Homo-oligomer: A and B are copies of this chain.
Amino acid sequence: MASCSWAENILQLLRKMNNFYLPGSRRSSCFRFEIEGAQVGWIPPHVASLLARYPDVFSPPHQGAVTLCHSLDSYEKRSEAVSHVVQALRQEPSLTCLKGWRDEKYSVMPRFADCPLMWMERAATSLFGVKRYGVHINGYTVSDRQEVCMWLARRSHTKQTYPGLLDNMAAGGLAAGVGIKHTLVKECQEEACVPAAIAKRARPVATVSYTYEDEEGVFPESQFVFDLELPLEFKPRIGDGEVQEFYLLPIDKVKELLATDDFKPNSAMVVLDFLIRHSYIDPDTGLWVFAKCPHLKNRLTALVLSLLSFQSHTIRTL
């Protein structure tokens, strides 16, 4: 039954995107990355071993934490010293994430509301489990008959991450010192040729947060989600080459696709959140119910709950 596999696939997606907080993860063997006594990330053991080569920058692990040396007592000093280390680590064949060097500075701080304590090259953040923030835009249309369609992008085959997969119409990371709305307008213009006057109509509606790990490191992320209703006659166009094609799809088709391997995983969560907020997932509905037992009428509801409850679990690194 197709509906069962949809539900199962979505649960699997949510688990995968939050695997750092599930049993069996490397969390218990990771070191806390602390600056000025506050945690700003998670360092996996294999990275900690490499950092031990730079005793002028990193103090040896102590009580489960890796810290910066005391002499690095300012934003500039920390950023510069760590940048040198990360540059040197590009020679390490095991650190494949550094192959995707971006030349983009990301802010490092305990919580989003706190003052940044340093910046770090984007490609290195997963080695230190530093939280990354981004913007995702749900571009959609509503017909005269109130039928909703969503614009999806097919990522370019040359993208460093998730090449060729389906994605939100536009999305991008939040670089150090750049505002959220500014990033939104920029990404809409660059990736999808959406004029600023239209992009500015996007409405802030949610954040989607998660923490996963893979062989490259730890990825705690929060995405600021915007809904942008587009004029029926408007068509996004390929801009900076990060997208190879745009599709306008009925919402039921989008729902089906987001449970497949063809969708970039975090963007699938953003679309799932859209479906929940726009009432396309009814907690009681029997439509996709997976009735293993007579008491069980709410398989789908569990998904709704799962999505929201699987949000980032580290209060400390909000």
Q: Which residues from chain A sit less than 8 Å from chain B, CB to CB?
A: 18, 21-22, 107, 111-116, 177, 179-182, 203-209, 222, 224, 276-279, 281-284, 290, 292-293, 295-299, 301-302, 304-306, 308-313, 315, 318
Query: For A181, A282, A304, which residue has the most chain B Cβ atoms within 10 angstroms?
Result: A304
**Residues in B whose Cβ lies below 8 Å from that of A182:** 284
Report A227 CB to chain B, min CB distance, Å.
8
Contacts A/B (CB < 8 Å), 27 sampled: A21-B315, A107-B295, A112-B298, A112-B305, A114-B296, A115-B292, A116-B295, A180-B283, A180-B284, A181-B283, A181-B284, A182-B284, A204-B276, A205-B277, A205-B279, A207-B304, A207-B308, A208-B308, A222-B305, A224-B283, A277-B277, A305-B318, A306-B318, A309-B315, A309-B318, A311-B311, A313-B315
Q: Given the interface contacts A113-B299, A284-B180, does A204 sit within 8 Å of B279 by beta carbon? A: yes
Given known A-B contacts A308-B308, A311-B309, A298 and B113 have beta carbons under 8 A apart: yes
* A204 touches which of B113, B224, B281 (Cβ 8 Å): B281
CA distance A116 to B276 in the complex (A): 25
Max chain B C-beta neighbours (<10 A), residue from A203, A208, A309, A318: A309
A111 CB contacts on chain B under 8 angstroms = 302
A283 to B174, CA, bound (A): 13
- Cα distance A205–B222 in the bound complex, in angstroms: 20
Given A204-B283, A295-B115, A312:B309 Cβ within 8 A: yes
Contact of A305 (CB < 8 Å), options: B115, B207, B281 = B207
| Number of copies of this chain that the complex holds | 2
Q: Which interface residue of A204, A304, A312, A318 has the most chain B CB atoms within 10 A?
A: A204
Do residues A112 and B205 form an inter-chain contact, with CB atoms below 8 A? no
Residues of chain B within 8 A (CB-CB) of A298 are 112-113, 180
Q: Do the beta carbons of B310 and A308 come within 8 Å of each other?
A: no
CA distance A299 to B207 in the complex (A): 15
Complex contacts, A302 vs chain B, CB 8 Å: 111-113, 318
Instruction: Find the B residue at minimum CB distance from A75.
Output: B295
A297 touches B205 (CB 8 A): no
Given A204-B282, A282-B204: A112 and B315 interface contact (C-beta under 8 Å): no
Bound-state CA distance A293–B302 (Å) is 42
Nearest B residue to A21 via CB reads B315
Chain B residues with CB below 8 A from A292, complex form: 115
In Å, the complex CA distance between A179 and B283 comes to 9
- B residues less than 8 Å from A112 (CB atoms): 298, 301-302, 305
Cα A60 to Cα B129 with chains together (Å)? 41
> Roughly how many angstroms separate A309 CA and B131 CA in the complex, as a whole number?
13
Cβ of B113 and Cβ of A296 under 8 Å apart? yes
* Chain B CB within 10 Å, residue with most, of A22, A181, A206: A206
